[in-house]
Structure 1
């Protein structure tokens, strides 16, 4: 997972992935690691600026947030810097607090061994490798959908193909996408929420592009908005 500012359409879903990596790593560790990671996650959620990669909070405020004394804050912040998850972007000077940043590469390196506990799709996504189509699970056989005709809109045909690959996944994420515009290789879909759009763009774009190509779109240009 390359170090980068988390901005743009896929940012919110990537934030969840990073917090998941920290959380699953903590769950597989001892109580001391669990406490440290819980405090870091709380600090990230409450005070971290994802766009500027800045955590600018004084020890007194952190102590209040964590319900500990400032000595504990000093110790734990030093530990987070020692393992490389926090970096110093600007040292404290003239009454100003230290400005920290997150080292996403260091977090990835430390937590990578735990990604498989979340699932192979998550591990592939965190490594930046193409995700495989998951096999259908459970013993419920979905009712087959009628195949759209050759003259049907391209998204209807692609969505039918996606449903054939994984009906549950399609029902959860793709059926809610409505085609706003389709012009040649360019397709604009509308999602019910911003999170829905971000999640599909981050987690399932490879699958959507493959479905469109299978339906005859040579070089798909896909946009998903809320």
Structure 2
């Protein structure tokens, strides 16, 4: 009887190896051969699942996104109450900062991907779509707290929030700021656009958050 192969597990194994190579040696070291060696499989197996480096990179970043989503879901499962807009936004942003080893590894890969996508229009298009979705999600949460009364433009605030978390993540990865300093800066800005005491409808408990992994500089 033929052995049943878990193709998703095989693809995940290869993508995991790609992330380790990219995080430790940079994208210039990523090739089908190097990834195959890291994964302990043949180059032929890698080529069976990923015909190009682009395909391999995009799948790895999909895994980062899935990991972030799984961590968010696990945290939500531990809470009895439906989170407020601020809690939703802050929880997602914390997954995007390199506050532990796993998120730092994911962040290095995502940061390298930004440069990789810059000269590949077809890859960059997906990146722009993910960024737009993230910005819209943040703007919706900010808008839910009646920001007009406080002079806050939801779209501009969401744009600034993305830029802030990107910059903080890069500097934490580079050792310029400590994780605690980054969190303090993030919370100070959140206080100005999503104060803890702000009134506003709580989101549905089944609201799905799908973060764009390519923008993640932490996960």
**TM-score (structure 2 length as normaliser):** 0.31
The structure whose residues are more often strand, as a share, is 1
Larger of the two Rg values belongs to structure:
1
Q: Highest relative contact order (Cα 8 Å, sep 6+), 1 or 2?
A: 2
